Amino acid sequence: MLYQWITKTGLAVLLLSFGLNSAYAKINVFACEPEWAALSRQLGGSAVKVFSATTAQQDPHHIQARPSLIAKVRRADLLVCTGAELEVGWLPLLLRKSGNGKIQSGQAGYFMAANQVALLEKPAVLDRSLGDIHAAGNPHIHFDPRRIQQIANALTQRLMRVDPANRSLYQQNGQQFAQQWQQAIKKWQQKTQTLQGKRVVVSHNSWVYLEQWLGLKKIATLEPKPGIPPSSAYLSKLLTQLKQNPAEMILSATYQNQKPAHWLSKKTSIPVISLSFSPVKNETLIVWFGRIVDQLIGVHL
């Protein structure tokens, strides 16, 4: 009798301990870009452990599928990436090499932000001779705060599906993020009213969602074709064009080659605004986006 009681008690304690550990075990989130890592941390809170495959100083188009990244993907419970072919050069290889069935396409652990929103600039014709184009549309969706909110809503639901034990935590964090984000959007919209209609030159066609949200007017691109560096002849032609139809700023990502932008700026006196393409390490989305807004309006104060 005593032996049976001890055995049953021990089993009960073991099951209880397993249940507690399951409830409080952190799920591993593999984020392809820092913006989704930041969003996952805010929505997941204490229930997630987040790894970002890239930094704000890297071009997310061109990343090596290193063994260290394969190891991280192998242990992931949830994959959060942009999609729309942004990571087509490296993510499929990571997924194939990882052997992790939980995060393959079609599974609950596979989350593509671009699938949650409407994309701009869907090409009418797919022709690689036109440069680095994306069949689904422009993937740089994180520069529209309204789309970020849509993605946050969808990611909250996905976290609850992948980790139902922490459903209430994700729901609470999602509601808190939405409230703070909407307040921030109102503030940013008030601050950026002076940017409506401002003419811009861009280094790469990365800013279409920012342009649409703020009402900026793109009049030229430093690349003759997406992903193709400008030649001297092309820059000279662009210089002539800008003398006839001036711009008010040149937008460039900090990870991009700044020489063409600064050459053009020196010739035209158009200021270059180098923007961080993603949040830096441990930076929240609100702080990062606020920093971008402040840089843009700082030119026109």
User: Along the 301 residues of the chain, how does pLDDT read in single tens digits?
Assistant: 544 544 444 444 444 444 444 446 799 999 999 999 999 999 999 999 999 999 999 999 999 999 999 999 999 999 999 999 999 999 999 999 999 999 999 999 999 999 999 999 988 766 655 556 678 899 999 999 999 999 999 999 999 999 999 999 999 999 999 999 999 999 999 999 999 999 999 999 999 999 999 999 999 999 998 889 999 999 999 999 999 999 999 999 999 999 999 999 999 999 999 999 999 999 999 999 999 999 999 865 5
- The CA-atom distances, in angstroms, between 253 and each of 15, 56, 204, 256 are 52, 9, 8, 5
What is the DSSP track for 173-224? HHHHHHHHHHHHHHHHHHHTGGGTT-EEEESSTT-HHHHHHHT-EEEEESSS
| pLDDT for the residue 122 | 87
Cut 0.75: pTM above it? yes
- The CA-atom distances, in angstroms, between 42 and each of 143, 150, 286 are 18, 15, 11
Q: Cβ distance 17 to 24 under 8 Å?
A: no
Domain locations along the chain: 22-183, 189-298
| pLDDT for the residue 21 | 43
Strand partners, 78: 29
The answer to whether the 22-183 and 189-298 domains have the same CATH topology is: yes
- Class of the CATH domain delimited by 22-183: alpha beta
- The CA-atom distances, in angstroms, between 275 and each of 6, 256, 279, 294 are 64, 10, 10, 11
CA dist 216 and 206 (Å) reads 13
Terminal Cα-to-Cα distance of the chain (whole angstroms): 83
CA dist 286 and 180 (Å) reads 9
| pLDDT for the residue 128 | 59
The two tokens of residue 217 are 């007017």
The two tokens of residue 26 are 């952190």
CA dist 203 and 220 (Å) reads 9
Q: Which CATH superfamily is domain 189-298 in?
A: Nitrogenase molybdenum iron protein domain (3.40.50.1980)
| pLDDT for the residue 130 | 57
